[in-house]
């Protein structure tokens, strides 16, 4: 069964170059790990929410606004789609995502259309 892992983090507070580099390496190692295990189905980092645009259509009119859909402190910074046997396995994978230590990972079952 497939799950989407939505990676949330507080983007305020900058990381140093060294911290960023270390985070990048951790993500690389993590991703390679789940590819090797056969769990990886997709995933990428996202540009920060300051680059986001929200599109809505109301009464036939398209509305475009600057910024993310919800102005919350924590924003989506990336995602994975993984194949896992059950929630426990998906949650175990999520717990190994580096950002799980500072932010949170939402584990959502994918409904196949």
Partner 1 sequence: MERVAIEQVYRTDYGRIVARLIYLLGDFELAEEAAAEAFKAALEQWGRDGIPANPRAWIIATARHQAIDRLRRRVSFDARRDELLHFVENRMADSEPEADGAVRDERLRLIFTCCHPALALEAQVALSLRTLCGLSTDEIARAFLIPATTMAQRLVRAQRKIRAARIPYEVPSSDHLAERLEAVLTVIYLVFNEGYAATAGDPLVRKDLCAEAIRLGRIVLELMPGDAETAGLLALMLLHDARRETRLDAAGEVVLLEDQDRERWDRVQIAEGLRLVEMALRGGPAGPYAVQAAIAATHARARRAADTDWREIAALYDYLLTQQPSPVIALNRAVAVAMAFGPEPGLALIATIEAQGELSNYYLLPAARADLLRRMARWREAADAYRAALALVKGNPERRFLERRLAEAEALRDS
Binding residues (CB under 8 A) for partner 1: these are 1, 85-88, 91, 107, 109, 112
| Residue placing its CB nearer to partner 1 in the complex, 4 or 52 | 4
Contact 44, 79 (CB under 8 A): yes
| Residue placing its CB nearer to partner 1 in the complex, 52 or 100 | 100
As measured in angstroms, the least distance from the Cβ of 37 to partner 1 is 17
CA distance to 25, 62, 97, 104, 108, per residue, from 91 (Å)? 22, 38, 10, 11, 10
Q: What angle do CA 24, 97, 30 make, to 5 degrees?
A: 60
As measured in angstroms, the least distance from the Cβ of 110 to partner 1 is 11
All residues at 6 or more sequence positions from 73 whose CB lies less than 8 Å from its CB, including other chains = 10, 12
| Residue placing its CB nearer to partner 1 in the complex, 19 or 106 | 106
As measured in angstroms, the least distance from the Cβ of 1 to partner 1 is 5
């Amino acid at each position: 069964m497939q799950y989407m892992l939505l990676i949330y983090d507080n983007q305020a507070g900058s990381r140093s170059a060294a911290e960023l580099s270390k985070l990048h390496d951790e993500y690389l190692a993590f991703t390679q790990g789940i590819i090797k295990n056969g769990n990886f189905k997709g995933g990428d980092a996202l540009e920060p929410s300051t680059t986001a645009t929200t599109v809505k259509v109301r009464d036939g009119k398209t509305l475009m606004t600057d910024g993310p859909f919800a102005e919350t402190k924590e924003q989506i910074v990336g995602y994975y789609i993984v194949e896992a046997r059950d929630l426990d396995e998906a949650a175990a994978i999520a717990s190994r995502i580096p950002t799980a230590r500072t932010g949170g990972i939402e584990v959502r079952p994918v409904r196949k259309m």
